């Protein structure tokens, strides 16, 4: 697969099982898939679109649904298809490893796990690093919290407002985004500080330097009210579910000075920002590099390119602080490790970080151009191939209804994007890192058309 390939042609009509013949649902033998989903899945399991889509296959930056419609994928399964759909190198690695052995567990030596850990430890920038593999970002953050609280003998956690760190009981309890925090019960005393959202809130009108000073003062004030010493600050360098918001570069370096005085650990949640997606840096924490590397970083999503891989990197003193036995049944699976190795190799050999910087910069410019003059678009922001389009009403207040319409209109145009922000008013754009210039141009035009339709609908709704 070449990096700058043309958009793929729709695959030839298959034969045999799964072919273009009427599906079971269409034949009337069984209810439609959506009804079956509702009958057995939780009500809170979100589905995009009024008429949810079933994606059946993909290639490169494109996916196809069960009706054969092709979409340009600008979301990658929530930033998880990092390189490309059906990347031959990853597919071959999975097939080859699966043909040898599927599972062993961490009770046995595992060559692919050790080899991937060696590469990630070196890339992390953390000295004397140790790596523990999990199956998701949620589990990675859960592990980091376990390590921090055990190491510091404290259940106090500092977290950022508007943050998101996963769906487990522990990670929900440090999530500062109320839309994704279904319970107030918590195993931690969580203390939330300012800084993750630059363009809203009490410090929005300040200069970057004054914003940073104000957030540092807020952190100091929070610590002054805390009982005992906090275990760690956990922070996303760019808030993902929160709507791709970020502080000024250097904020976490300034925070680190305060944290170090108190012996508090810094956990960088790189589940969405890692592996070069922001273009300027391989890790999000490197935008705050004056502080040096974090004590821990967590990763997941993109490294597996769709396979279930997550993990924690920590300096040895922290990683080795647990005084009880532990294993991971599925973390470090030979098959997922083989996929991660192949995917990481492809990313580095093809300089996908550089591609994210170049093509992402072009995409941001084009999106700003096609949305100029649309009052419904409050801001286009981002870094590399991690871009947010925030929608607002005439009064400047968040417009989640408009974002819902834009999501539908984009799909109708042949483009898949995500949605986030505390109020659900931000379109999230995060294509695979192999995105070509032509695809960036095409995607910007498609989203521009979708947002113009959204603007027209918003104006029509305001008519008497």
Alpha-carbon dihedral angle through residues 283, 289, 292, 293, given to the nearest 10 degrees = -10
Q: Residues 160, 198: contact at Cβ < 8 Å?
A: no
| CA distance linking residue 453 with residue 447, whole number of Å | 10
In this prediction, residues 334-344 reach a mean pLDDT of 98
User: 146: closest CA among 164, 171, 128, 165?
Assistant: 171
In this prediction, residues 164-178 reach a mean pLDDT of 90
Fold of the 24-79+351-462 domain: 3.90.1150
Q: Residues 367, 440: contact at Cβ < 8 Å?
A: no
pLDDT of residue 26: 53
| CA distance linking residue 347 with residue 338, whole number of Å | 14
Statement: residue 20 has pLDDT above 50: no
| CA distance linking residue 176 with residue 192, whole number of Å | 7
In this prediction, residues 296-321 reach a mean pLDDT of 97
Beta strands in 281-376 (DSSP E): 296-299, 310-315
User: What tens digit of pLDDT does each residue of 446-458 get?
Assistant: 999 999 999 999 8
In this prediction, residues 18-39 reach a mean pLDDT of 70
In this prediction, residues 233-262 reach a mean pLDDT of 96
In this prediction, residues 203-215 reach a mean pLDDT of 97
* Residue 461 token pair: 């709704």
Q: Would you call 181 exposed, middle or buried from its count of C-beta atoms within 10 A (0-12, 13-18, 19+)?
A: middle
Fold of the 90-349 domain: 3.40.640
Statement: residue 3 has pLDDT above 60: no
Selected residue with higher pLDDT from 2 and 289: 289
Residue spans of the domains in the chain: they are: 24-79+351-462, 90-349
pLDDT of residue 6: 43
User: What tens digit of pLDDT does each residue of 258-281 get?
Assistant: 999 999 999 999 999 999 999 999
Q: Residues 329, 105: contact at Cβ < 8 Å?
A: yes
pLDDT of residue 227: 74
Per-residue confidence band for 159, with pLDDT thresholds at 50, 70 and 90: very high
Statement: residue 460 has pLDDT above 90: no
Topology alike, domains 24-79+351-462 and 90-349: no
| Residues above pLDDT 70, as percent of the chain | 94
* Residue 349 token pair: 């050999």
Statement: residue 209 has pLDDT above 50: yes
Name residue 297's beta-bridge partners: 268, 313
User: 82: closest CA among 443, 430, 439, 447?
Assistant: 430
Task: Give how far the C-alpha of residue 179 lies from the chain's centroid of Cα atoms, to the nearest Å.
Answer: 16
Statement: residue 14 has pLDDT above 50: no
- The reported pTM is 0.91
Statement: residue 79 has pLDDT above 70: yes
């Amino acid at each position: 697969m070449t990096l700058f390939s043309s958009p793929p042609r729709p695959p030839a009509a298959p034969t045999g099982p799964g072919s273009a013949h009427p599906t079971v649902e269409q034949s009337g033998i069984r209810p439609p898939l959506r009804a079956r989903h509702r009958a057995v899945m939780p009500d809170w399991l979100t589905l995009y679109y009024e008429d949810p889509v079933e994606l059946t296959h993909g290639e490169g930056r494109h996916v196809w649904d069960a009706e054969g419609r092709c979409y340009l994928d600008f979301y990658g399964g929530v930033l998880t298809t990092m390189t490309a759909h059906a990347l031959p190198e990853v597919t071959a690695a999975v097939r080859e490893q699966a043909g040898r052995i599927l599972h062993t567990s961490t009770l046995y030596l595992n060559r692919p796990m050790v080899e991937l850990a060696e590469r990630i430890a070196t890339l992390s920038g953390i000295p004397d690093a140790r790596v523990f593999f999990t199956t998701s970002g949620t589990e990675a953050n859960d592990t980091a919290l376990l390590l921090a609280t055990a190491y510091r003998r404290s259940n106090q956690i500092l977290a950022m407002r508007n943050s998101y760190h996963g769906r487990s009981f522990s990670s929900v309890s440090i999530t500062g985004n109320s839309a994704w925090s279904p319970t107030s019960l918590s195993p931690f005393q969580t203390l939330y500080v300012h800084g993750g959202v630059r363009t809203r809130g009490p410090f929005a009108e300040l200069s970057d330097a004054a914003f940073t000073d104000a957030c540092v003062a807020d952190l100091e004030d929070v610590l002054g009210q805390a009982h005992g010493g906090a275990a760690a600050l956990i922070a996303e360098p760019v808030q993902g579910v929160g709507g791709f918001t970020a502080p000024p570069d250097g904020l976490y370096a300034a925070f680190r000075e305060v944290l170090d005085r108190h012996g508090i650990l810094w956990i960088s949640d790189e589940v969405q920002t890692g592996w070069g997606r922001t273009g300027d840096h391989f890790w999000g924490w490197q935008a705050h590099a004056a502080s040096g590397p974090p004590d821990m970083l967590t990763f997941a999503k993109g490294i597996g390119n769709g396979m279930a891989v997550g993990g924690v990197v920590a300096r040895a003193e922290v990683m080795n602080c647990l005084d009880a036995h532990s294993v991971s049944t599925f973390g470090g699976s030979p098959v997922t490790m083989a996929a991660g190795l192949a995917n990481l190799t492809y990313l580095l050999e093809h300089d996908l970080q550089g591609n994210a910087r170049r093509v992402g910069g072009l995409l941001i410019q084009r999106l700003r151009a096609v949305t100029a003059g649309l009052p419904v678009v409050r801001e286009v922001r981002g870094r590399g191939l991690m871009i947010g389009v925030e929608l607002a009403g005439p009064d400047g207040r968040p417009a989640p209804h408009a974002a819902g319409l834009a999501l539908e209109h984009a799909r109708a145009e042949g483009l898949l994007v995500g949605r986030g922000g505390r109020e659900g008013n931000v379109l999230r754009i995060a294509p695979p890192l192999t995105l070509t210039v032509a695809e960036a141009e095409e995607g910007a035009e498609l989203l521009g058309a979708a947002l113009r339709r959204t603007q027209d609908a918003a104006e029509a709704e305001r008519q008497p």
